[in-house]
Amino acid sequence: MDFAFLIVLIVNIVLIGTMMFIERRKPEVIISWLVILSFVPILGFIFYIIFGSGLSVKTRRMLKRKILYEDAYENFVWEELLRLPELSENEREIASFNERACKSLPYFDNDIKVYTFGKEKIEALKADLLSAKHSINMEYYIFDDEGVGKDIMKILCDKAREGIKVKLIFDSVGSIRSKRRFFRKLKKAGGEVAEFFPPLFGIRLINLKMNYRNHRKIVVIDGHIGYVGGINIRDDHMGLKKKLSPWRDTHLRIEGNAVYGLQNAFFNDWFFCKKRHITSSELVALGYFPKMQKKGNVVTQIVCSGPESKVHYIKDSYIKMIATAKKKIVLQTPYLVPDDIFMSALKQAVKSGVDVVVMLPKKPDKKFVYLATLSFARELVECGVKIYLYNGFLHSKLLMIDDVCISVGTCNADNRSFALNFEINAFMFNKEFLKSCAKIIEEDIKNSIPIDITYFKQKPFTSKLGQTFFRMFSPLL
């Protein structure tokens, strides 16, 4: 037993060395793992293998090779860059940053519909799926095999039998409760299915990449209509479970050139899962990037981020937005577990006279993450940030500054979304569109309670202890 313990100890030292000198992780991440591996070495080693091991060099190379960028349809949209002067100076500052730093083109002339509850989004999605004539590309973190999941799967199978090209990507961890025979229905109907980071030997609990989750929710129908946002294919996202009801979320339906960005992101992941690639000209020839007609006047950028890059694109865009704000910042997130850089950006905004509002759920779905969230919320309250707790579960991932820019997508304000998950957000510019979003936020505030430092002081000792304890491991959450 002593010999085995010594072996584990030596292995743990090697793991720490690997994190420091090969993977070059952030100091706060290394310290968190050092504490775990030192105090509970055997259990810590198991946790590390499951949740902490980095992506292999081979996997990282494959992920980088899969990126198409926008050259798949450059004849359609590169001219959009010439229209940047149409934006205001503040809008152009953010849009130019996203184009240069995040490789995200600004797409003009989009019509965007905002859904704030799961039921209305699913009803619209079903109608669009039923009207599909060419192709359906769908990618979800959670695709449940019950309730709403069965309804959507039936539509997909029916369309596949009609000869429509149907492709579905589901995340192995997010959809872990769904039976795999559920997805085989689509294959039998003539569709195609891919599992992102599948487990070893087909055993769902043995997955060495489960720490890296594809958290994206993308739908592209006929290359013309796109969906992106926070709502998964699961009943609780419909508000059907009282424990987390009402479930407030934000999801977008997009028509216009920005659908190219969603399609591009989908095929990046599809080619990675299938370990094959076809040329950009072939995708265009197959009708996946059709020419668009002008649909609206919302300028939109699609920004993706993931663990294959050391640059955290969505987080960097968030920080750029926060630094650009002159009057007001509104952040909605179910989990507030950011790093020091993000926290510092919010604090600097307050010190600059910007009205900073952060909205969180009153009902938590993950208690240990919520305790860490409260710890960060208290720190922000002490700096002058206004914190609101929504009377229900707020799953919305939204950041809005002034009347300049709003971002909606899948990225939470936490280290997991910023650095470990595969995420996708839409960044939108249009004053009238932002006004309509501001009205939605005003209704959210009416359905929320403001909290101050007294709220935190009145928390029981166990809650305060939990906040301190789980914040210590926030880099790993």
Query: Which residues are identified as catalytic?
Result: 215, 217, 222, 395, 397, 402
d(CA 67, CA 304) in angstroms, rounded, equals 11
Tokens for 181, please give them: 């025979």
Q: How many CA atoms lie within 13 A of 115 on its CB side?
A: 23
Q: How many CA atoms lie within 13 A of 220 on its CB side?
A: 26
d(CA 476, CA 29) in angstroms, rounded, equals 7
CA angle, 330 then 86 then 95, to 5°: 45
CA angle, 262 then 319 then 78, to 5°: 40
Q: Pairing mode, if any, of strands 165-171 and 135-140?
A: parallel
Is it true that the peptide bond before 338 is cis, omega within 30 degrees of 0?
no
Q: Under a CB-based contact definition with an 8 Å cutoff, are residues 292 and 252 in contact?
A: no
Q: With CA atoms as reference, report the closest residue to 429 among 258, 309, 282.
A: 258
d(CA 183, CA 160) in angstroms, rounded, equals 13
d(CA 254, CA 262) in angstroms, rounded, equals 10
Q: Under a CB-based contact definition with an 8 Å cutoff, are residues 206 and 213 in contact?
A: no
Q: How many helices (H) and strands (E) does the chain have?
A: 18, 19
